[in-house]
Amino acid sequence: MTTNRFEQIPEEWLRRREGLGIWEGRSKAVAVGTGASDTSRRWDWDPQTSVGANAISALRRAMDDAGVTGDQVDGLIVVPDTTTGRFAWPPAWPEDRDVPGDMAAAFEMVDDPRVGMAGLSTEWIIKNMPELTNVEFAAHIPSDTAPALIGAVEAVVRGLTKVCLVVKGWHNLAGRYYVGQGAANGDTIATREKWSTGWGTVGVYQEATRFQRYLWKYGKRKEMFANFVVNSKRNGLNFPEGFFAQNRPEDIVTREDYLGARWLAKPANLYDADIPICAAAAFLFTTPERAKDMKQKPVYVLGHTSTQPPARSLQHTLEEEEAAAASSGRKLLEAAGISVSDYSFENMYDGYGMFHAIHVEGLGYAGIKQGDFLDFVENEDITNEGPHPISPSGGNIGSGRTRFWLHMDTMQQLQGRAGARQMTGVKPEIGVDGANFPQNFHGLVWGANPD
Amino acid sequence: MPKQSPVPEDVDRGFWEAANEGRLVVQNCHACDRLQHPPMDACAQCGSGDNLEWSEMSGRGTIYTYAVMYDNPVPLMFDDQPFNAAVIKLEDDPDIMMLSHLPGTPVDEVPIGAPVRLVFEKTQATGQMVPEWEVVTQ
């Protein structure tokens, strides 16, 4: 029975301001295990590939990875949002299938019929994982993996849980979302979307305009981004949990492929965007003391921060985005009590790819300053074999839209078990990651050691 | 090029009524002396909805940035792809931005930083006028 329940991360747990000093929870919580479900492009309507089933699979794999049994888990954080885009509910069920009926036969469902198919909840997970018999702390943390990880870390530091699981899932239903749906459909338009969709803009548009401004401001060329995407795709094919490694292992993307890809919103093309997929991942956090008898080496959380400045007008400008990223960079260093040269690697968000440039410039990683990223990725060794790995996970571009590969890779790199992605040009001691946009960001600093 | 007709709602009715009169107005909080766009029920700075009014703009601006839409979501615009979608900053307050298809400017020939002037276009479904922007040629 849960005794502590949150429907969102308590505001006082977040570190939003600069000047807060070293985080008082530094190295008092560790990540030990992680696991991902199998991946697929779209849901095939089978209950065993639903987002609920994927979440259960990921949670069990994370427990196995850490060497923990369900009865030892006393905390559970679930990200209830699982959509990869915008879908109507209920969806157009296949004519010959009773999908809700199949789900009800396979799982214990809750009052909201979407949960398990197009959403998750702690109630649904606990009902369908009978091995979780001792959950005393449960929380829904909206949106994404990164804030959920911060929630788990803070919950451990604050003594609300000693062994805490976090799970995030993604469902991707049939159809091309956005196009001709919702506000885009018809010859009139209402709601706030009249200011954006009304001009035929969507998704990648805003970042494409910031990318265009960036190219103009710093005198760079779009072609200079190619090595970053090629490297991310390569890292993705070396990520066995990822979509492309599992489903399209032959899908090597070359510089020529990138430069010849179809435009979405020029200067953004197909390979600057991520592919929506079905997947789930789970992470297991605990105290350093409790981790001693677990199966994997603990990864220490050295600091975290959150940055969410509102846009002044219609959309964030490049300059607002750069300022947000720079603030996050400073706050992460301050929280962890380190200097930027202490970073062995970075795993910042990349869906869309250009976000990665702004994040890295904001960090100052590898000496990269504002306007430098394209020169760096074009001229330096950015592979996992080099001295300054860039996006060693491959991120969303490399393995599909989840916003969690980055965290899994950070853990695995620091634990020395990233397989073919394991970095060799630098000893992974401190890594930094976070998602998603610079102007809507939650980030963490992780260490192989507590100091 | 064709656009969906915006449906005026309480929060933005003043904007669309002015557009039908050939005027560009932006919401202003006279307590904060601060413009904001898109319109909201309250001032984003002071949180009050009591001090909002409509202020008429000069109709001059500059191109801040743009993208060329090849894969837009609105079927009404499919036949016009690719098309420019620019972000305009108003001369009255460069923090205030609006979108534009830049009528008269060829795709890929968008001059970032160039001055633009306000025009209005009639949308087909309801006749609602919408603001657009043209590059000012010297």
Give B122's strand partners.
B129
Distance from CA of B111 to the nearest CA of A (A): 10
CA distance A121 to A80: 5
Helices (H) and strands (E) in chain A, counts: 14, 13
Residue A3 pLDDT more than 70? no
Please, which residues have CB within 8 angstroms of residue A111's CB and are 6 or more apart in sequence? Answer: none
Domain B59-138 has CATH 1.10.540: no
The number of CA neighbours under 13 Å toward the Cβ of A147 is 26
In A, what residues contact B, Cβ < 8 A? 178-181, 184-192, 194-203, 205, 208-210, 212-213, 216, 262-268, 310, 312-315, 317-318
Buried b (16+ CB within 10 A) or exposed e, B64-88: bbbbbbbbbbbebbeeeebbbbbbb
Based on the number of CB atoms within 10 Å of its own CB, is A236 exposed (0-12), middle (13-18) or buried (19 or more)? buried
Residue type, B52: L
- Domain A4-176+277-291 carries which CATH code? 3.40.47
| Residue-level pLDDT at A1 | 56
* Contact check, Cβ <8 Å, A209/B38: no
CA separation for the pair A259, A438 (Å, rounded): 26
CATH number of A201-274+299-451: 3.40.47.10
Q: Where are the domains of chain A?
A: 4-176+277-291, 201-274+299-451
Task: With beta carbons under 8 A apart, name residues in chain B contacting A268.
Answer: 67
Kindly state the tokens that stand for A362.
Answer: 């904001």
Chain B interface test: which of A177, A313, A318, A320 (most B C-beta within 10 Å): A313
Model ipTM value = 0.97
Can you say whether the dihedral through the CA atoms of B32, B35, B37, B40 is positive or negative?
positive
pLDDT in tens, A169-207: 999 998 777 777 778 889 999 999 999 999 999 889 999
Exposure on the CB side of residue B3, measured as CA atoms within 13 A: 29
State the best of B10, B26, B28, B71 to mutate against chain A, taking most chain A CBs within 10 Å: B71
Closest CA to B18 of B45, B37, B1: B37
Band the pLDDT of A87: cuts 50, 70, 90: confident
Q: Do the domains A201-274+299-451 and A4-176+277-291 match in fold? A: yes
Q: Chain B: residue nearest A196 by CA?
A: B99
| pLDDT tens per residue across span B24-74 | 999 999 999 999 999 999 999 999 999 999 999 999 999 999 999 999 999
Tens of pLDDT, residue by residue over A252-297, are: 999 999 999 999 999 999 999 999 999 999 999 999 999 999 999 9
Half-sphere CA count of A148, side-chain side, radius 13 A: 30
pLDDT of the residue at A179: 77
Q: Is the pLDDT of residue A374 over 80?
A: yes
Tell me the C-alpha distance between A380 and A395, whole Å.
19
Domain ranges of chain B: 7-56, 59-138
Strand partners, B35: B28
Query: What pLDDT is recorded for position A403?
Result: 97
How far away is chain B from the Cα of A369, in angstroms, using its nearest Cα? 22
pLDDT band at A85 (very low <50, low <70, confident <90, very high): confident
Q: How far is A217 from chain B (nearest CA, A)?
A: 10
